[in-house]
């Protein structure tokens, strides 16, 4: 455990900020405010210059050396929150730099520890900055590397082609429908996902509540004559339920939601190939749904066993071709780099297998140790790739996708992600997922229904974001879905008292 001592005057939110940055460099790190002979010691100074500049300095003292970093920028004026934000940014700059000096590690994402770096780039563009100015701001203000800044710019240009009205979707909504069941739960997963069992009646009870929630949301949407941009069935694995249950659910959706002819995209995650059957594909085709996910994660059987996916590589391949041959024209696949006992050789094999199928989109995730996952709670059991290896794997993924006609169209990051890297969605031109773009860039309200579903209410005028979470546990959902409906409708009424339809 690495310890880093800072001054005791820093508030808790500052301590958390320093901890997030320190954890980019050390597997386990604690920010302390008391003397400790084993700790690195960091001293900060801030000086206000006569010319209006603020100059920040950090000195990191270890047993062997001292490291010094300085950063300055013109002082902001106005609200205290803006001044505090600037001071945090300056402290982050110099803290990151002395840690880079001490560890000889460079953080290509700079001081950004949040999950949505794309939002910053879009913000700069909406403020009227050119692409190059936005890139320079990311590099100067946040220490993001030129390579990553240019990647953001490239992705943004693709997003605007895929969704030309991306910045004008605030008066529409998208819908997320959560089905909390899977054949088994993967070791890295923290989503609402429960092994599906048909004996205790909770699946039937959950579906009863979900139908009611969809109907009630549909009433509100119809009264407001709202346009739905996209609908996304996630989980869990939405294809864990039976074909006839899927059919009934889609019927309720079409009967309840208004303007279904204007919905641009409907996605159903069929991520676990062991849930895909010809009967379920027939149901998807019946309702005009042809965007699905068939997720291998890895093409090594030993890895699938290690992470708790009770299907084989061959089953993934077979179910992909079953879906394709039965008419599924827009198939997404996911790969995860850094899974236990996998390195370049295994990842290369996964890419070679993917090349044989050429799905319309491919998301390359970097393994993240999420706090509540079984993998994080038993980390000593899972040997994962080191930082340099996952960086090489990510680079190889970038090269392979370009060689195979894919382009990156969305990006997000997670805390405790291997190598401080990112997750990137690639697609063939014209096959971008609109839902993935709008949810990551937070450009509109997402109404979440179902177990564990997160609703994100975005005020169409102020942009203020309010979140609401349905219960994760099916039993709790069943008991309280009517209360959840009431609370969500109150949130919706607050931000959409009247809706002016776009001309």
Q: Do 352 and 486 belong together in one domain?
A: yes
Q: Do 194 and 283 belong together in one domain?
A: yes
Closest by CA position to 229, among listed 260, 276, 264, 274:
264
Least confident range from 56-70, 359-373, 407-421: namely 359-373
pLDDT at 27 over 60: yes
Range of the domain at 268: 173-328+341-358+438-494
Alpha helices for 190-265 (secondary structure H): 202-224, 243-256
Element (H, E) at 134: helix 131-142
Query: What is the reported pLDDT for 19?
Result: 94
Q: How far apart are CA 479 and CA 483, in angstroms?
A: 9
Does residue 453 sit within a domain?
A: yes
Q: Do 236 and 157 belong together in one domain?
A: no
CB 303 within 8 A of CB 342: yes
Q: Do 127 and 210 belong together in one domain?
A: no
Closest by CA position to 389, among listed 415, 411, 363, 421:
421
CB 264 within 8 A of CB 208: no
pLDDT at 501 over 80: no
pLDDT at 285 over 90: yes
pLDDT at 374 over 70: no
Query: Helix (H, G, I), strand (E, B), or coil: what is residue 446?
Result: strand
> How many domains would you assign to the chain?
3
Least confident range from 113-122, 126-135, 190-199, 493-502: namely 190-199
Instruction: Name the token pair of 95.
Output: 């803290």
Question: Which residue's structure tokens are 């297998």?
Answer: 353
- N-term to C-term CA, the chain: 59
Does residue 55 sit within a domain?
A: yes
Does residue 13 sit within a domain?
A: yes
Instruction: Report the chain's mean pLDDT, rounded to a whole number.
Output: 91
Q: Do 53 and 154 belong together in one domain?
A: no
Q: Do 98 and 121 belong together in one domain?
A: no
CA distances from 500 to 165, 227, 446, 456, 491 (A): 16, 11, 19, 21, 18
212 — pLDDT class (breaks 50, 70, 90): very high
Identify the residue with better confidence: 232 or 198: 232
Q: Strand pairing partners for 73? A: 54
Query: What is the reported pLDDT for 502?
Result: 52
Please calculate the CA angle 52-58-61 and round it to the nearest 5 degrees. 165
Q: How far apart are CA 243 and CA 245, in angstroms?
A: 5
Least confident range from 206-210, 307-311, 345-349, 390-394: namely 307-311
What's the rounded mean pLDDT across residues 225-242? Answer: 93
What's the rounded mean pLDDT across residues 165-175? Answer: 96
Q: Do 132 and 41 belong together in one domain?
A: no
Q: How far apart are CA 177 and CA 268, in angstroms?
A: 9
pLDDT at 7 over 60: yes
Instruction: Name the token pair of 130.
Output: 């050119």
Task: Look up residue 76 and give its DSSP letter.
Answer: P
Does residue 384 sit within a domain?
A: no
Q: Could you tell me the CATH number of the domain that includes residue 230? A: 3.80.30
Q: Which among 215-229, 293-307, 334-348 has the top mean pLDDT?
A: 215-229
CB 434 within 8 A of CB 427: no
394 — pLDDT class (breaks 50, 70, 90): very high
What's the rounded mean pLDDT across residues 119-142? Answer: 96
Does residue 400 sit within a domain?
A: no
Q: Do 199 and 297 belong together in one domain?
A: yes
Residues listed for the chain? 503
Q: Do 196 and 294 belong together in one domain?
A: yes
Does residue 336 sit within a domain?
A: no
Does residue 489 sit within a domain?
A: yes
Query: What is the reported pLDDT for 199?
Result: 46
Closest by CA position to 485, among listed 257, 224, 217:
217
Query: What is the reported pLDDT for 197?
Result: 61
Closest by CA position to 361, among listed 300, 292, 304:
292
Model-level pTM? 0.91
Q: How far apart are CA 142 and CA 132, in angstroms?
A: 15
Please calculate the CA angle 416-185-317 and round it to the nearest 5 degrees. 100
Environment class of 212 (CB within 10 Å of its CB; exposed 0-12, middle 13-18, buried 19+): middle
Could you tell me the strand order of the sheet in which 29-32 lies? 29-32, 2-5, 40-48, 53-61, 66-74
pLDDT at 310 over 80: no
Q: How far apart are CA 98 and CA 355, in angstroms?
A: 43
Strand boundaries in 236-272, DSSP class E: 265-269
Q: Do 231 and 303 belong together in one domain?
A: yes
CB 396 within 8 A of CB 351: yes
pLDDT at 290 over 90: no
Query: What is the reported pLDDT for 42?
Result: 97
Q: Do 350 and 488 belong together in one domain?
A: yes
Q: Do 136 and 207 belong together in one domain?
A: no
Query: What is the reported pLDDT for 196?
Result: 59
Query: What is the reported pLDDT for 191?
Result: 57
Chain-centre distance of CA 333, in angstroms?
16
Q: How far apart are CA 376 and CA 384, in angstroms?
A: 12
Q: How far apart are CA 335 and CA 293, in angstroms?
A: 11
Percent of the chain whose predicted confidence (pLDDT) is above 90: 77
Instruction: Name the token pair of 411.
Output: 């990006």
CB 117 within 8 A of CB 155: no
Environment class of 388 (CB within 10 Å of its CB; exposed 0-12, middle 13-18, buried 19+): exposed
CB 312 within 8 A of CB 304: yes
Angle between helix 117-126 and helix 146-162 axes, rounded to 10 deg: 70
Closest by CA position to 228, among listed 258, 256, 252:
258
pLDDT at 429 over 80: yes
Instruction: Name the token pair of 472.
Output: 């994760």
Does residue 381 sit within a domain?
A: no
Q: How far apart are CA 329 and CA 358, in angstroms?
A: 11
pLDDT at 404 over 80: yes
Instruction: Name the token pair of 79.
Output: 């609200």
What's the rounded mean pLDDT across residues 177-186? Answer: 78
pLDDT tens figures, 92-127: 999 999 999 999 999 999 999 888 999 999 999 999
Least confident range from 381-395, 427-441, 463-477: namely 381-395
28: left (phi over 0), alpha (psi -120 to 50) or beta: beta
What's the rounded mean pLDDT across residues 488-500? Answer: 86
Alpha helices for 367-432 (secondary structure H): 374-377, 387-403
């Amino acid at each position: 455990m690495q310890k880093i001592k800072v001054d005791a005057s820093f508030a808790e939110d500052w301590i958390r900020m320093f901890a997030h940055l320190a954890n980019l460099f050390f597997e386990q790190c604690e920010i302390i405010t008391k003397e400790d002979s084993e700790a690195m010691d960091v001293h900060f100074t801030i000086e206000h210059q006569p010319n209006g500049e603020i100059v920040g300095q950090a000195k990191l003292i270890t047993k062997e050396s001292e490291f010094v970093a300085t950063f300055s920028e013109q002082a902001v004026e106005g609200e205290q929150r803006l001044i505090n934000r600037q001071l945090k940014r300056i402290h982050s700059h110099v803290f990151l730099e002395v840690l880079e000096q001490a560890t000889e590690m460079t953080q290509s994402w700079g001081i950004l520890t949040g999950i949505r770096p794309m939002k910053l780039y879009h913000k700069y563009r909406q403020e009227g900055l050119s692409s190059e100015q936005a890139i320079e701001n990311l590099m100067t203000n946040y220490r993001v590397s030129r390579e990553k800044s240019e990647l953001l710019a490239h992705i943004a240009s693709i997003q605007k082609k895929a969704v030309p009205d991306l910045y004008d979707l605030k008066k529409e909504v998208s819908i997320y429908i959560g089905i909390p069941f899977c054949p088994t739960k993967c070791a890295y997963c923290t989503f609402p996902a429960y092994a599906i069992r048909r004996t205790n009646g909770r699946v039937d009870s959950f579906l009863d509540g979900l139908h009611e929630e969809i109907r009630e949301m549909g009433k509100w949407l119809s009264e407001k004559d709202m346009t739905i941009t996209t609908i996304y069935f996630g989980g869990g694995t939405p294809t864990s339920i039976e074909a006839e249950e899927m059919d009934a659910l889609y019927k309720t959706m079409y009967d309840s939601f208004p303007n279904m002819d204007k919905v641009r995209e409907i996605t159903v995650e069929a991520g676990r190939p062991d849930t895909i059957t010809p009967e379920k594909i027939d149901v998807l085709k019946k309702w005009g749904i042809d965007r699905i996910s068939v997720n291998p994660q890895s093409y090594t059987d030993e890895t699938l066993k290690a992470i708790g996916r009770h299907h084989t590589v061959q089953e993934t391949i077979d179910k992909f071709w079953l879906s394709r041959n039965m008419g599924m024209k827009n198939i997404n696949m996911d790969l995860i780099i850094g899974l236990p006992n996998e390195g370049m050789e295994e990842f290369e094999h996964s890419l070679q297998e993917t090349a044989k199928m050429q799905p319309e989109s491919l998301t390359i995730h970097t393994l993240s140790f999420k706090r509540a996952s079984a993998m994080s709670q038993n980390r000593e059991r899972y040997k994962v790739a080191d930082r340099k290896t996952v960086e090489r794997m990510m680079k190889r993924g970038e090269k392979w996708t370009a060689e195979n006609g894919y382009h990156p169209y969305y990006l997000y990051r997670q805390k405790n992600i291997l190598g401080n890297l990112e997750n990137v969605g690639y697609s063939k031109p014209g096959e971008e997922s609109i839902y993935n773009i709008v949810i990551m860039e937070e450009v509109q309200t997402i109404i979440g229904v179902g177990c564990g579903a997160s609703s994100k209410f975005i005020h169409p005028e102020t942009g203020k974001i309010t979140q609401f979470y349905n219960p994760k546990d099916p039993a709790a959902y069943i008991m309280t879905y009517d209360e959840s409906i009431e609370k969500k409708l109150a949130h919706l009424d607050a931000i959409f008292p009247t809706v002016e339809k776009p001309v």
